[in-house]
Amino acid sequence: MVNVNANNFNPAAETEPGYGQLLAILMRRRYWLLSVFSVILALTTIITLITKPTYKSSMQLLVEPNYQGKQENSKNPENDFADANVEIDYATQLNLMRSSQLIQKAVDLLRPQYPKLKVKDIKESLVVNQLKEDKVNTKIFEVTYTDNDPIKTQTVLQTIKRVYQDYNREQQQLRLTKGLSFIDAQLPSLRQSTAQTEAALDKFRKSQNLIQPELQAKALIESLKDVQYELRTARAQYQEALARFQTLQQQVKRSPQDAVVSSRLSESPRYQTLLNEIQKIELDLAKERQRFTDDNPVIQNLLEQRQRQLALLQKEQQIVQGSNNQVTQNYANSNLLEKGQLGKLDVDLSSRLLQEQSNTLGWQARVQSLTQKAQQLQAELQRFPGMLSEYNRLEPEVKLNRETLEQLLKARQDLSLEIARGGFDWQMVEEPQLGLQTGPSMKRNLLLGAVVGLMLGGIVAFIREMIDDAVHTSDELKKQVDLPLLGIIPQLTPQIRTEPIIHLPFRQQPILTSSTIELISWQPFRESLDLIYQNIQLVNSAGSLKSLVITSALAGEGKSAIALGLAISAARLHQRVLLIDADLRRPSLHKELNLPNDRGLSTLLTSDVSLRDETSIQVSRQHNNISILTAGPTPLDPAQLLSSQKMRELMANFEQSYDLVLLDAPPVLGIVDAILAASFCSGVVLVGRIGRVTRTELTQATNMLHKLNVIGVVANGADGFSNAYSSYPQQNQELLQAKAGG
């Protein structure tokens, strides 16, 4: 057979409960829940009635720690020197307030009024807590005391208040006295140390000529930065001026001294006049030499004139150039006629050359001056690291000693004033009152007992449910197996109608038993089977399901009745149906239908008689479409018969002769008969009775059938299941009976 649902099984299907399932569990185990609830509520009532009433009184104190003084003033010198060996916190304060030493003082004061009162009694009933506001601890402590006597609660708290206040004053006085002694012991050595460090610092400042070394060093560093910046700027300007000077010197092609002299001579009128006269004489001399020789008086006269003019020119040159001997010597060795003949452009270039020479010399002097200044500042800074190190060592010591001395003097003054004032008392925020009754409260205890009873009852119910592995609802059945839910059959109720709607008189005129008649006649059962059959038809849309095995995990899950109901539903739809009792070990179909079982499936499988001549199949007289094949006599080996080739041939012949063949097979667990029979059929329908089959058994059954074509599961005996649609009217039921009977 083709296995179309081989992958539909999920042995670990999701079983996580939802809210509806939790409510269903509580309803199913309601007797357990109600039993535990009733017991808890009864015990709560009894305990409440026999318990004596209790009273509680309270008071609130604004507490300042004994060792710390006013804690919020962190700059108070008293806090630093009063008692340096004590660690301050409110947890310590709470422990002190609950200590046996203080409670013993209260017991001694209360002994005349309550002679039997002990420290242990007060500690068991006394509660001291630090109040909180918005999760922040306050300085208010609440003290509560519980007892069976309301007056006693107030009296005890009043006495404890007195003990607390006395203890606070004693501790303050002791703390302040210790603090003052500590300060007096520290002052002489601190004064001496302060004087020594101040003298060392003054001596260092005078020797190094310092006032504020850090500020002076910072000023020197800033000055050095400025000088270095100016030096870089001066060097850049010097390089630019030098470049311009060299360029102009190349253009003029003479030294600055020559340029100065040439410019002056070129601008001197007398010098220029003498040059002009000499030039004229030169022209005349050249002209006359063409006529005369050098010995001629005319030539000699001209030469003498020329010599006189040159002497005058040299004298004028000396006058113009001044007393510069070096320049005079240079010009004396040069041709005077070539000097002083510069043009306007040459004069301008010479002027610019002199100006650039002056600029270059100025920037050069500036660079030299700044370089010397930078070197002086660097030399001054080199001695500052050592001075700063020594100063930084001396100055903090002086400052620390001064501050410590000031704090000690201030603390001594504050402590003296505090001792003279006598300290401060803890303030009462709320005075102790008569104790109010706190228990037992009948209403509160009953409410608490009800809540606890419901919780414990629910826990017991769920524990009982966890122990019980049975499937209780169709939803649980659907979640346990990954198979389509073909339908739900409601649980049989005592109010079942007993009049039969469909009768099955067979060839031997069988009579249905009363249970079968009641079940088949029950309208919800019929409607559920009709719906299941229609769902099977939807699965069988291709028409491949000609034979179905109806089986279950365990015996007694109603598979035989469901097989009979499916046969009737198919016959009412004009299907030719063969119903076979395939349970060869414990056959039951012939008993339910009151049929003879001397011949049946076992005889067909063991005999060689042709199927056409076989009279084992019994046909309904009123429903010719339904045929019944009982199990027959019990064979020695049912598994051998169900797995035989004859069984295969029989099923092939039945599928050709009938529209639908239904096999009422034995349970799956424990025996192999159902699996063998299903191997020759088109599909398998698994029946699970709600409340009987367990999850484990259902999982084992589906695992065994996972290689077969299991088309779905039927939930039998569902509690509370009903059709939301109203039943047919009576006339429609009669019409349906007439059609079914026809």
Same domain, 44 and 58: no
Confidence of residue 507 (pLDDT cuts 50, 70, 90): very low
How much is the pLDDT for 648? 92
- 362 pLDDT more than 80: yes
Same domain, 478 and 509: yes
- Does this model's pTM top 0.75? My answer is no
Same domain, 244 and 342: yes
Structure tokens at 332: 């004396």
- What is the percentage of the chain residues whose pLDDT exceeds 90? 13
In a domain, 565, yes or no: yes
Cα separation, 564 vs 581, in Å, equals 10
Digit-coded pLDDT (tens) for 220-238? 788 878 888 888 888 888 8
Choose one of 467, 486, 518: the last residue of a domain: 467
Structure tokens at 547: 């034979």
Confidence of residue 729 (pLDDT cuts 50, 70, 90): very low
How much is the pLDDT for 475? 79
Q: Spell out the residues 6+ positions from residue 94 whose beta carbon is closer than 8 angstroms to its own.
A: 128, 129, 130, 141
**CATH number for position 668:** 3.40.50.300
Cα separation, 602 vs 686, in Å, equals 24
Number of domains in the chain: 4
Confidence of residue 259 (pLDDT cuts 50, 70, 90): low
Q: Which of 83-87, 188-192, 270-274 has the lowest mean pLDDT?
A: 83-87
In a domain, 269, yes or no: yes
**CATH number for position 159:** 3.30.70.1130
How much is the pLDDT for 198? 75
Q: Which of 278-282, 290-294, 394-398, 668-672 has the lowest mean pLDDT?
A: 394-398
| 608: helix, strand or coil | coil
Cα separation, 664 vs 677, in Å, equals 10
Same domain, 270 and 282: yes
> For residues 582 and 663, is the Cβ–Cβ distance under 8 A?
yes
Between residues 89 and 471, the one the model is more confident about: 471
CB atoms within 10 A of CB 679: 17
Q: Average pLDDT in the 300-326 region?
A: 71
In a domain, 372, yes or no: yes
Report the chain's mean pLDDT, rounded to a whole number: 76
Same domain, 460 and 537: no
In a domain, 192, yes or no: no
> For residues 67 and 167, is the Cβ–Cβ distance under 8 A?
no
In a domain, 186, yes or no: no
Cα separation, 624 vs 547, in Å, equals 19
Confidence of residue 548 (pLDDT cuts 50, 70, 90): very high
Structure tokens at 40: 């808890």
How much is the pLDDT for 742? 29
Torsion angles phi and psi, residue 503, rounded to 5? -110, 145
In a domain, 216, yes or no: no
Q: Average pLDDT in the 126-134 region?
A: 86
Q: Average pLDDT in the 507-518 region?
A: 47
- 508 pLDDT more than 50: no
Cα separation, 227 vs 455, in Å, equals 90
What are the start-end ranges of the E strands in 361-454? 427-430, 436-439
Between residues 78 and 373, the one the model is more confident about: 373
In a domain, 485, yes or no: yes
How much is the pLDDT for 11? 40
Same domain, 75 and 128: yes
What stretches of 334-383 show up as alpha helix (H) in DSSP?
344-381
In a domain, 388, yes or no: no
Same domain, 166 and 266: no
Structure tokens at 726: 């109203």
Cα separation, 363 vs 370, in Å, equals 10
Same domain, 35 and 144: no
How much is the pLDDT for 20? 72
Q: Spell out the residues 6+ positions from residue 706 whose beta carbon is closer than 8 angstroms to its own.
A: 6, 9
Same domain, 339 and 362: yes
Nearest to 44, CA basis, from 448, 614, 455, 640? 448
How much is the pLDDT for 210? 67
- State how far the alpha carbon of 252 is from the alpha carbons of 249, 257, 356, 361, in Å: 5, 12, 13, 19
Cα separation, 407 vs 81, in Å, equals 9
- 689 pLDDT more than 50: yes
Same domain, 529 and 447: no
Digit-coded pLDDT (tens) for 7-55? 343 443 444 556 776 787 777 778 888 888 888 888 888 887 777 788 8
Confidence of residue 250 (pLDDT cuts 50, 70, 90): confident
Tokens 């501050």 -> residue: 403
Nearest to 357, CA basis, from 258, 254, 241, 235? 241
Same domain, 456 and 537: no
Determine the Cα angle at 258 with ends 257 and 260, to 5°.
Answer: 65
- State how far the alpha carbon of 583 is from the alpha carbons of 219, 503, 554, 740, in Å: 116, 24, 13, 29
Cis amide leading into 524 (omega within 30)? no
Range of the domain at 59: 53-171+424-438
> For residues 497 and 679, is the Cβ–Cβ distance under 8 A?
no
How much is the pLDDT for 511? 41
Same domain, 60 and 39: no
Structure tokens at 530: 């009709």
- 663 pLDDT more than 90: yes
Structure tokens at 177: 């006295």
